[in-house]
Chain A
Amino acid sequence: MPQFLEHSGTSWQGQNVKHTPSLIDRLDPRLRVVLVSVFAVVTVLSQSFMSLSMAAAMGLLLALLAQLNIKRTLRRVLAMDMFMIFLIILLPFTTPGETWFEVAGLSASKAGFLHALMILLKAHAVVLALLAMVGTLSATTLGHALARLRVPDKLVHLMLFTVRYLEVIGQEYKRMRRAMQARAFVLRTNRHTWRAIGYLVGMLLVHSLERSERIMAAMKCRGYQGKFYLFDDMTFTRQDVTFSLLFVPCLGLLIGMNFL
């Protein structure tokens, strides 16, 4: 897997990604999660180009405010674009409507093109806002923020444990993979390869399951009875109020532009 796809929007302290603290980092994580969720919903539901352009501009502004690393952000946005590119190319040809131009006998409609453009704007606005507001949180903080926002405990624990053990499982995978290579295993397109990779994946599942059982036992030994305690105090400060006072009217404007 290419390096830049190995981790997505989240960066946590363990990843050693450079990040200069910014205005956004001083905001309450809960507020960031809530605002960006509302922003995403409003953007996705918007139908006018005016409000979508404004949403994209807001996304860009948030990204600038958060002082995101330009190169890394571009890579991530590109990763998303790769995912959407076929949709964008195909939409003009599959949407019925007034013919705009023709390629090899296929007619592209203007409506389809506009639709594709809308999706593009929506996606970029939301991704930029997410990268700026949530991507700059450590995964742990995000988990705690979600817990304090009354997201079900089970989901939060699932996320926190995934963050903690992804690396351990990844290392286990690499260890087994290296052991295979050490015995002259090369990926080929044949049954032997498929079977070996099948064993590898199966073994990884078994190891993960066994490890989860050992972790559970270790937690029980330390008196775990199904309850987690969160440490960080999240406080709603003056800055949060100011930011909300600026952000919420913008959201209102976004919604309003749809009805012009």
Chain B
Amino acid sequence: MNEQATLIQVTALSYRYPRRGVVLDDVDFALEVGERVALTGPNGAGKTTLLHLLVGLKKPKAGEVWAFGSTRKTEKEFIEVRARAGFLFQDPDDQLFCPTVLEDVAFGPLNLGKSRAEALQIAEDTLASLGMAGFEQRITHQLSGGEKRMITLACVLAMEPDVLLLDEPSNALDTKARQRLIDTLLKLPQAMIIISHDQDLVSQLATRELCLEDGKLCEPVSDTYLPPNLKSA
């Protein structure tokens, strides 16, 4: 494996919940530059947990997280990871907490130490690049589901991350909003890990597909992963 091209790598990662039991059991995984990895698996398999472990929101019971050139263990070390790996949460309402869109998008850059003027400029540019110009002064909780999704993406992209972690991005989006999201994601240069149950989104976006089941990561069995009649649905 070429170390230069690896962005994030986990080795022998394990995690268990007090009541749910083991969700990740000795998992190895690496994300390379330019990859878009789809992560599938049944509900409650631990897909979201894996992403949380990658950015240090949860601490692994065993194993190691290596990201952007060094091993990450403490909260302090993970702060840099979070800046470079943009996390898109499942529920946009969790992410949009500022009253206006502009403040929300500028929140990340400000935390990275940008000046107010710079942060505002970045926020405006990011919104414009996603075709969301004109939304700056809108109230976040009054946006539609599709708009909220695009704004949360802008929030994440404004931090200029190297990696995107997307947790069911097409959840509850209508066909049009969904396609718009997919088209936007396709144009982005970042490596991605995408959790999704949306088989069509996965086939459009992913360069590699992994399945998390019973705490283990595995390659889905070629294309027969879903029967063809289900796949078209």
How many A-B residue pairs lie within 8 Å, measured between CB atoms? 76
Report Cα–Cα, A231/B155, bound state, in Å: 16
* Subset of 27 A-B contacts with CB under 8 Å: A14-B139, A140-B99, A161-B97, A163-B99, A211-B94, A214-B91, A215-B95, A217-B52, A217-B94, A218-B87, A218-B89, A219-B107, A220-B57, A220-B82, A221-B55, A221-B86, A222-B108, A223-B108, A223-B112, A223-B159, A224-B107, A225-B79, A225-B111, A229-B106, A229-B116, A231-B106, A231-B116
Flag whether B9 is at the interface (Cβ < 8 A).
no
B59 on interface, CB distance cutoff 8 Å: no
Query: Is B103 an interface residue when CB atoms closer than 8 A count as contact?
Result: yes
Which residues from A are CB-within-8-Å of B155? 222
- Contacting pair A218 B82 (CB below 8 A): no
Q: In the assembly, what is the distance between CA of A138 and CA of B82, in Å? A: 33
Assuming the A-B contacts A214-B91, A218-B94, A222-B108, are A164 and B141 also in contact, with contact meaning beta carbons closer than 8 angstroms in the complex? yes
Chain B residue at minimum C-beta to C-beta distance from A211: B94
Q: Is A80 on the interface with B (CB-CB < 8 A)?
A: no
CA gap between A193 and B159 in the complex, in Å: 49
Q: How long is the Cα–Cα vector from A82 to B192 in the complex, in angstroms?
A: 59
B156, closest chain A residue (CB) = A222
Say yes or no for A8: interface residue by CB 8 A criterion: no
Task: State A162–B83 Cα separation when bound (angstroms).
Answer: 27
Contacts of A224 in B (CB 8 A): 107, 111
**In the complex, A138 Cα to B139 Cα: how many Å?**
12
Chain A 69-102, CB-CB to B under 8 Å as 1, else 0, gives 0000000000000000000000000000000000
Asked if A206 is at the interface (CB within 8 A of a chain B CB), the reply is no
Q: Which residues of A contact B107 (CB under 8 A)?
A: 219, 222, 224, 229
Instruction: Look across to chain A and name the residue whose beta carbon is closest to the beta carbon of B89.
Output: A218
**Which size bracket describes the interface of A in this complex?**
20 to 34
Does B30 interact with chain A (Cβ within 8 Å)? no
Distance to closest chain A CB from B175 (angstroms): 24
How far, in Å, is B171 (CB) from chain A's closest CB? 14
Q: How far is the CA of A161 from the CA of B97 in the complex (A)?
A: 7
Measured between alpha carbons, how far is A65 from B118 in the docked complex, in Å?
39
Chain A residues positioned under 8 Å from B108 (CB to CB): 222-223
**A1-53 interface (Cβ within 8 A of B):** 12-14
A223 touching B79, Cβ below 8 Å: yes
Judge if A197 is at the interface, Cβ distance under 8 Å.
no
CA distance A165 to B89 in the complex (A): 17
Residues of A within 8 A of B97 (CB): 161, 164-165, 215, 218-219
For A14, A161, A215, A229, which residue has the most chain B Cβ atoms within 10 angstroms?
A: A229
Chain B interfacial positions (CB closer than 8 Å to A): 52, 55, 57, 79, 82-83, 86-87, 89, 91, 93-95, 97-100, 102-103, 106-108, 110-112, 116, 119-120, 139-142, 155-156, 159
**Which residues of A pack against B, CB within 8 Å?**
12-14, 138, 140, 160-161, 163-165, 167-168, 211, 214-215, 217-225, 227, 229, 231
Complex Cα distance, B140 from A98, in Å, reads: 60
Q: How far is the CB of B121 from chain A (nearest CB, A)?
A: 13
Q: Is the CB of A14 within 8 A of B112?
A: no
Complex Cα distance A165/B140, Å?
Answer: 11
CB distance from A212 to the nearest CB of B (A): 9
A223: chain B residues at CB < 8 Å are 79, 82-83, 108, 111-112, 159
5 tightest A-B contacts by CB? A223-B111, A221-B87, A222-B108, A214-B94, A140-B99
Q: In the complex the two chains form, what is the Cα distance from A109 to B142 in whole Å? A: 54
- Point out which of B86, B94, B106, B120 has the most chain A C-beta atoms below 10 A from its C-beta: B94
Contacts A218-B87, A223-B83 supplied; 19 other A-B pairs, CB < 8 Å: A14-B141, A14-B142, A161-B97, A163-B99, A217-B94, A218-B89, A218-B95, A220-B57, A220-B82, A221-B55, A221-B82, A221-B86, A221-B89, A222-B155, A223-B82, A223-B108, A223-B159, A224-B111, A231-B103
Asked if A221 meets B57 with Cβ closer than 8 Å, knowing A164-B141, A215-B94, the reply is yes
Cα of A164 to Cα of B99 in the assembled complex, Å: 6
